[in-house]
Amino acid sequence: MSIIKLLTKKLDRTIFTTPSHNQKAIFSQEYASFYKHDYSEIDGFDNLQNPVNSILMAQGKVSDILKTKQTFFSIQGATTAMLAAMKTLINPADRVLVARNCHKSVYNGLVLTAGMVDWFMPETDEKWGIYTIIDPKKLESTLELNQYKVFIMTSPTYEGINSNIQEISDICKKHDVYLIVDEAHGALYNFSDKLPKTAIEQGADVSVNSLHKTAGALNQTAILNVSSNIKNIHITSFQNSLNLFQTTSPSYPLLANIEACFNYLNSKEGRKEIDLLLLEIEKTKSELKRFGVEFYSEDNHDPTKILLRKDGISGFDLSDSLFNDFNIEDEMNNQNSCLYLTGIGTTKQKLEKLKNALKKIKTNPSFEFQNMDFQPYPIVKLQPVNAYNREYIYVNKNDSLLKISNKIIMPYPPGIGLLYPGEAIQKWHLNYLNNDVEIIA
Ligand SMILES: Cc1ncc(COP(=O)(O)O)c(C=O)c1O
C-alpha cells in the first residue's frame, strides 16, 4: 500500500508507542493537521532505515520515473542526501575535487568523510555577479594532474545555470572519477522537455534533488538518486550512509509528501502546470523587457529562476524597493541583480504582481552598474577535517593576512563559502572580517 494510503486509512488500534500525542494536538491547536498523521514505525508501517514495504514501493516508483538504479527519500533535505552520497564514495584521505560554488553541506561532508579537497573554480559572470558553468576543458586538465576519487559540483546553480553534465560525466568516466551533482534546484527537470535533462540522464553517478525548493513539497523533503551505470559500489552502501545521518523517527507525513509530489509531477496535470508556468514566465519577461528590465537568459539557463536587473538601479536598491514599497521578497540579491524563485505553486497572479511592481520602480538615469569581483583561489593550509574543532585565538584584522582562519565566511543565501576554517586569509577577505579575527592557534 502507498505511504499516502497508509496514513489516511482510519487506524482502529490502541497504540502505546512513540509519538505519545495520539495523533492529537494537545497544545498548538493551529497545527492539529500536522499531528493527525504523525505516526512512527508501528506494525504495518515501513521503516525508512530498512524499507521493505510501502516506503520501498514509493522509492521504487520514483526511481522508475527518474530512470535511476535506486532513489532514496531524505526527510532531512538535500543536505543529508549529499552527506550520505559523500560518505558512500569518499574514504578518509581520498582526494576529492569540489567546485567552489558548492553549498555548505559539501564542506560539512568533507569534515565528516576526511576527504582531501582541492577546489575547482567555476566560471563567473561579473556583470551579473554570479558563478556560471564548470568549464569541461579546465576540468579535464585538472583531472589530468591528479587522481581524484570524486568530483562534486552544483548544477543548476542557485541562479539556474546548468553545466554540460554529459560532457563533464564523460570526462569523469575517462579519468575514473565518480561524479556527484548537487541538483537541489533541478527537481522539475524530468517533467518538461522545455527544461534541461536531469544530471542522471546525462551520466552523473549520483545526484540529489531538494523537493521543497521548486517542486511544491514541504521543507526538508529531498531525494538521493543513484545511476544504473555507477561502478564498483554496492547500492546498500548508500542506505547504510543515509542511516548514519537520518533520524530513526522519520516524519511519515513528509515521506507521504515526497510520494505525493512525484505522483503530481508525473501526472498530466503536473506536467501541464510546469509548462504553463514556463509560458507565464516567458510572457512576463517579454513584457518587462520593454520597461528596461534585463533577464539572464543564456542557453543553459533554467527559466524558473528569474534573475533580473533593471537599468538605473542597483540590485540591492531594487530588492529594498520591491520589499519596502511593494511587499515582494526576493530569494537573493547582489550589487547588480535580484533573483526571484518560481516553481510549483507560483501563480499567474504572483507573477503579475512582480511585473507591475517592476514597471513602477523608480530609477536614477545616472546610475551605472559596476562589474563584481569574486573570491580568489583558496589557499588551503589545513584540510577541513584537520581544521575542525581547533584551538583558536583572536588577532586584529590588520595582522590577520595569511593567518589560518578558524571561521567560515558564508553569506546565506546562497550558502557558498568565501573562506573556510583551515584556509589562509587573503587581502580580498578583509572586507568580510570583523576587527577581531578568529585564527587557528
Ligand atoms: C545548491 C544547494 N544545494 C543544497 C542545498 C541544501 O538543500 P536542503 O535545504 O534541501 O537541505 C541548498 C539549499 O539552499 C542549495 O542551494
pLDDT of 414 reads 86
Q: What is the pTM of this model?
A: 0.97
Q: What is the pLDDT of residues 78-111, one digit of tens each?
A: 999 999 999 999 999 999 999 999 999 999 999 9
**Hey, which of 105, 131, 162, 341 would you mutate to test ligand 1's pocket, going by the most ligand atoms within 8 Å of its Cβ?**
105
Region 288-294: what's the mean pLDDT? Answer: 95
- Same domain for 172 and 319, yes or no, is no
- CATH code assigned at 389: 3.90.100.10
Q: The sheet that has 338-341: what strands, in order across it? A: 293-295, 305-310, 338-341, 332-333
Q: Does residue 370 form part of some domain?
A: no
Which atom from ligand 1 is nearest to the alpha carbon of 220?
Answer: 10
Q: What is the pLDDT of residues 232-282, one digit of tens each?
A: 999 999 999 999 999 999 999 999 999 999 999 999 999 999 999 999 999
Would you say the CB of residue 239 lies under 6 angstroms from ligand 1? no
pLDDT band of residue 299 (cuts 50, 70, 90) is: confident
**What's the structural domain count of the chain?**
3
Percent of the chain with pLDDT over 70: 100
pLDDT of 65 reads 98
Boundary residue ending a domain (265, 281, 308)? 265
- Same domain for 159 and 66, yes or no, is yes
**Hey, which of 74, 213, 245 would you mutate to test ligand 1's pocket, going by the most ligand atoms within 8 Å of its Cβ?**
213
Write the DSSP assignment of 343-406 as a string of letters. Answer: -TT--HHHHHHHHHHHHH----TT--------PPPP-BSS-HHHHTT--EEEEEGGG-TTPBB-
Q: Does residue 12 form part of some domain?
A: no
**Domain membership of residue 400 as a residue range:** 384-440
pLDDT of 411 reads 87
- Same domain for 218 and 177, yes or no, is yes
Instruction: List 66's β-bridge partners, or say none.
Output: none
Would you say the CB of residue 155 lies under 6 angstroms from ligand 1? no
Percent of the chain with pLDDT over 90: 97
Cα(104) to centroid of ligand 1, in Å? 8
User: Mean pLDDT in the chain?
Assistant: 96
415 pLDDT above the threshold of 90: no
CB atoms within 10 A of CB 409: 16
What cell numbers appear for 13 in the block?
488500534
Cα(78) to centroid of ligand 1, in Å? 6
- Same domain for 200 and 291, yes or no, is no
Q: Does residue 374 form part of some domain?
A: no
Q: In this structure, which amino acid lies at residue 3? A: I
Would you say the CB of residue 222 lies under 6 angstroms from ligand 1? yes
pLDDT of 412 reads 84
- Same domain for 224 and 166, yes or no, is yes
Q: The sheet that has 222-226: what strands, in order across it? A: 70-74, 222-226, 206-210, 178-182, 150-154, 95-99, 116-120
Q: Does residue 178 form part of some domain?
A: yes
Would you say the CB of residue 214 lies under 6 angstroms from ligand 1? no
pLDDT of 413 reads 83
- CATH code assigned at 280: 3.90.1150.150
Q: Does residue 430 form part of some domain?
A: yes
Q: Does residue 365 form part of some domain?
A: no
Q: What is the pLDDT of residues 29-71, one digit of tens each?
A: 999 999 999 999 999 999 999 999 999 999 999 999 999 999 9
- Same domain for 77 and 194, yes or no, is yes
- Tracing cell 564542506 back to the chain, one arrives at 107
Q: Does residue 13 form part of some domain?
A: no
Cα(107) to centroid of ligand 1, in Å? 12
Would you say the CB of residue 414 lies under 6 angstroms from ligand 1? yes
Would you say the CB of residue 160 lies under 6 angstroms from ligand 1? no
Would you say the CB of residue 415 lies under 6 angstroms from ligand 1? yes
Cα–Cα separations (whole angstroms), residue 9 to 45, 46, 54, 123: 12, 15, 14, 52
Region 142-154: what's the mean pLDDT? Answer: 98
Residue nearest to atom 7 of ligand 1 (CA): 78
Best CA proximity match to 149, nearest among 203, 86, 204, 95: 95
pLDDT band of residue 291 (cuts 50, 70, 90) is: very high
- Same domain for 215 and 344, yes or no, is no
- Same domain for 289 and 261, yes or no, is no
Write the DSSP assignment of 272-328 as a string of letters. Answer: HHHHHHHHHHHHHHHHHHTTTEEE---TTB-TTEEEEEETTS-HHHHHHHHHHHH--
Q: What is the pLDDT of residues 306-354, one digit of tens each?
A: 999 999 999 999 999 999 999 999 999 999 999 999 999 999 999 999 9
Q: Does residue 283 form part of some domain?
A: yes
- Same domain for 52 and 175, yes or no, is yes
